[in-house]
């Protein structure tokens, strides 16, 4: 399950991406066309022993209208139906940050992660040993920092403020 980007990445890995029953692995990414049939097929595959992988655990996504369900909501439904917990390979897991650092040819000490979610973007940076900058344009707020045991290194209103600050250096 997933959007075009998720499926394209799986094809590039030379994965056999055949929807339906009998799958060895269920990959769950953001899917705007989620259906009862897709959930049922995933449930049956997981109950039959398929490995459960998720691209991210975002419970909500910010939109112009407000917060809506994210991939984590689908993961919760599948967990409720199967008892299976997915292996998350995206944020906030360090592996995705380590891959990005390798692609950049950089180190955690010399890189700043910028994000708008405390529970994924900022937590992933903290787990990887990176400094982080949170922009207040997503699901997280400054008040949310008081309820967690980690924090971003810096907080700025939005990416425009980040750009203006960088121009001043």
Q: Cβ–Cβ contacts within 10 Å for residue 152, how many?
A: 24
Q: Which helix (H) or strand (E) holds 100?
A: helix 94-104
Does the pTM surpass 0.85? The reply is no
The residues near 39 (Cβ < 8 Å, ≥ 6 apart) are 74, 77, 78, 81
End-to-end CA distance of the chain: 44
Predicted confidence at residue 7, as pLDDT, reads: 52
Instruction: State how far the Cα of 76 lies from the Cα of 118, in Å rounded to an integer.
Output: 19
CATH code for the structural domain at 4-88: 3.40.50.1000
Instruction: State how far the Cα of 163 lies from the Cα of 155, in Å rounded to an integer.
Output: 13
CATH code for the structural domain at 94-167: 3.40.50.1000
Instruction: State how far the Cα of 49 lies from the Cα of 86, in Å rounded to an integer.
Output: 12
Q: What is the pLDDT of residues 8-67, one digit of tens each?
A: 555 555 556 566 788 899 999 988 899 999 999 999 999 999 999 999 888 888 888 988
Instruction: State how far the Cα of 45 lies from the Cα of 53, in Å rounded to an integer.
Output: 12
> Which single residue is written with the structure tokens 């008081």?
146
- 3-state helix, strand, coil split of the chain in percent (to 5) is 40, 20, 40
Would you say the CATH fold of 94-167 matches that of 4-88?
Answer: yes
Predicted confidence at residue 141, as pLDDT, reads: 86
Domain ranges of the chain: 4-88, 94-167
Q: What is the pLDDT of residues 141-150, one digit of tens each?
A: 888 888 999 9
Instruction: State how far the Cα of 117 lies from the Cα of 126, in Å rounded to an integer.
Output: 12
Instruction: State how far the Cα of 132 lies from the Cα of 123, in Å rounded to an integer.
Output: 9
Beta bridge partners of 52: 26
Mean pLDDT, all residues of the chain: 88
């Amino acid at each position: 399950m997933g959007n075009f980007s998720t499926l394209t990445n799986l094809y590039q890995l030379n994965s056999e991406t055949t929807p339906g029953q009998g799958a060895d692995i269920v990959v769950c990414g953001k899917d705007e066309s989620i259906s009862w049939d897709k959930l049922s097929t995933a449930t049956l595959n997981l109950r039959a022993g398929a490995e459960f992988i998720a691209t991210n655990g975002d419970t909500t996504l910010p939109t112009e209208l407000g917060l809506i369900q994210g991939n984590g909501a689908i993961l919760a439904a599948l967990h409720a139906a199967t008892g299976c917990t997915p292996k998350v390979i995206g944020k906030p897991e360090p592996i995705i940050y380590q891959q990005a650092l390798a692609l950049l040819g950089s180190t955690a000490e010399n890189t700043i992660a910028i994000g708008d979610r405390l529970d994924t973007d900022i937590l992933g940076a903290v787990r990887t040993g990176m400094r982080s900058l949170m922009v207040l344009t997503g699901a997280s707020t400054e008040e949310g920092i008081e309820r967690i045991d980690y924090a971003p290194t810096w907080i700025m209103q939005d990416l425009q403020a980040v750009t203006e600050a960088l121009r001043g250096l």
